[in-house]
Amino acid sequence: MKFVSIIIGSKSDFSVMTECANTLDKFGVLHELIISSAHRSPARTHDYVKGAEERGCHVFICAAGMAAHLAGAVAAMTIKPVIGVPMKGGAMDGMDAMLSTVQMPSGMPVATVAMGKAGAINSAYLAMQILSLEDNDLKVKLEEDRILKSKKVESDSVDVEIRL
């Protein structure tokens, strides 16, 4: 069964990453979420990634803060697409996590999205866009979502606009 795996490095990442899970829920995309750390539980991370691949995981979303090696470590274990979400916090408020996540060596890509809530939501959208390459129903839902977003810009503008 095709699904998306969300791995978060700590329980402290959970509240932001519920935005990712909620977005996948909204589109009816199967997903699961676990806590596993590249540093604190490397063996668990490895075993989980291998097991998830066998069970049908198509995309991994990895969220971590500080010296955030989770997405990169997962990318080293699989050729499935890996999306990295840098978490804010720590002494550098996420800049360290962003650089750790985005600066992968050649041949080992991690698709890094924005920090925080926007990144959590965009990680879900990016995962769904990947799945939609082989899922026409999902493609249609994503296209409809774009139309709704565009219409909302127009209706929001009508609410506030001042014309001379």
For ligand RP5, which is the closer residue by CB, 68 or 131? 68
For residue 76, give the 3-state DSSP assignment. Answer: coil
Contact flag: residue 84 with ligand RP5 (CB under 6 A) = no
Residues 114-136: b if buried by 16+ CB within 10 A, e if exposed: ebbeebbbbbbbbbbebbbeebe
Binding part of the chain for ligand RP5, among 8-16, 22-30, 47-55, 106-114 by CB under 6 A, reads 8-16
User: Could you tell me which of 128, 62, 129 has the C-alpha nearest to residue 101?
Assistant: 62
Which residues fall within 8 angstroms of residue 112, CB to CB, at 6 or more apart? 71, 83, 84, 85, 86, 98, 101, 102
Binding ligand RP5 (rule: CB under 6 A), the pick from 5, 36, 37, 45 is: 37
User: Quick one: the chain helix, strand, coil %, rounded to 5?
Assistant: 55, 15, 30
Binding ligand RP5 (rule: CB under 6 A), the pick from 6, 20, 64, 127 is: 64
Contact flag: residue 120 with ligand RP5 (CB under 6 A) = no
User: Could you tell me which of 155, 135, 109, 106 has the C-alpha nearest to residue 27?
Assistant: 135
Mask of contacts with ligand RP5, 89-118, x by CB under 6 A? x-----------------------------
Q: Rounded to the nearest whole angstrom, what is the least distance from the CB of residue 11 to ligand RP5 in the complex? A: 7
For ligand RP5, which is the closer residue by CB, 29 or 62? 62
For ligand RP5, which is the closer residue by CB, 10 or 78? 10
For ligand RP5, which is the closer residue by CB, 29 or 69? 69
- Which positions touch ligand RP5 (CB under 6 A)? 9-10, 12-13, 37, 64-66, 87, 89
